Chains A and B, each alone.
Chain A
Amino acid sequence: MSRQLNPSQVWTQYPVASRLVEVNTKTGFSLTAGSYAVLASSTQGGVINVGSAYSNTATISSVTTTRATVYYGGGTYAVAAGNDGGSRITLTNATTVTANRGTNSGDQETGYRVNEFF
């Protein structure tokens, strides 16, 4: 990102980089992890319409899979699909939730919720 610099901005010589850099005077204080708390850090969810297919996916905000869990949020099924046994929800990767089912007949909506823990 580049933009026109304000001539009144403060500049200094940073010894490591050996080049002119702007000094950030806007930050009053800084906090590392452990110095602050996080509220409702990562909960997201939705509904996947599997349609007339065996599976479908939803794209989600990125999570760290080793500390995230996906929950089944219930499902609705077309009346004609009497043999539909429900669906299986999987956190496929950091940005994908997959809904699978055993048939591809009839329409199906599958709810899901992804929680990430810290």
Chain B
Amino acid sequence: MNSSSVSTVTRHLAWFAVETGTWIGEWCGTVPAPVVPPSVSGDARLLRLNAWLQELQSYITPDGSPYEMESQAWDLQRWDACPVGGAVCVDVTTHGWPVGDFRWATFNVVDRRLTFSESHLYLQVSTDTLQLDVNHTSGRPVQTTDTKLVADVTDTAFAPWHGQLFGRFVSKGGRLVFLPRDPGRFPEIVSHAVTDQHPALAVLASLDQARLALESAHR
């Protein structure tokens, strides 16, 4: 069989640590299709497909692969720390999600179950109107777009007020100041913290400032 006659398929693979279930990395690309006779079905088919996946993924690492890659994302520290045989490779193609979306998922090896238990909190700012107008929750990453600046505020000073943080940014004294729509809903120090001199980074750059300001206030 020459290489031109080999049919190919696109596969999105994710690796998790067997011991902890935590995400190690993801890879998506074109690989040679599995060859399973139509007469083989059920558990026998899954057995063959798992063996096929084990074989093809053995040539994929963060450093490269012989396959045509579309995209990849790795936690290199976790990869380097993973012992021989310490990872499980899961074919997540069927989800149809972007590479990197499984970074907060965990894989339970005993139950063979993929779980999205970790929710992240997002604030979104419309860059054309400078309105903080969306509070969103998801177990997967949300990407910033041309018109929406998205900030992950999980575990930040804003988290307790997520769901009610709305308002707009105005220029005041050379700084960009956040004016909450309902200032009485949360401490003034929170709204004061959502400021920065660069509109495009207003929320993102202020997160650490907000945390520090609140920590100082509580001392």
Contact = CB atoms under 8 A, between A and B. Distances in A.
B169 interface: no
Interface residues of B, number: 73
B82 A59 contact: no
B95 A22 contact: no
Interface stretch (B58-66, B171-179, B209-217): B58-66
B134 A47 contact: yes
25 contacts: A3-B63, A16-B32, A21-B61, A22-B64, A23-B58, A23-B61, A24-B61, A27-B88, A30-B91, A31-B90, A33-B91, A34-B49, A35-B46, A35-B50, A36-B107, A37-B111, A37-B112, A40-B115, A40-B116, A42-B95, A42-B116, A48-B133, A58-B134, A61-B101, A118-B95
Given A30-B89, A59-B143, A16 B66 contact: yes
Interface stretch (B72-80, B153-161, B191-199): B72-80
Residue of B49, B61, B181 ringed by the most chain A CB atoms within 10 A? B61
A21 B116 contact: no
B46 A32 contact: yes
A22 B80 CA distance: 14
Given A39-B113, A45-B137, A31 B145 contact: no
B32 to A, nearest CB: 8
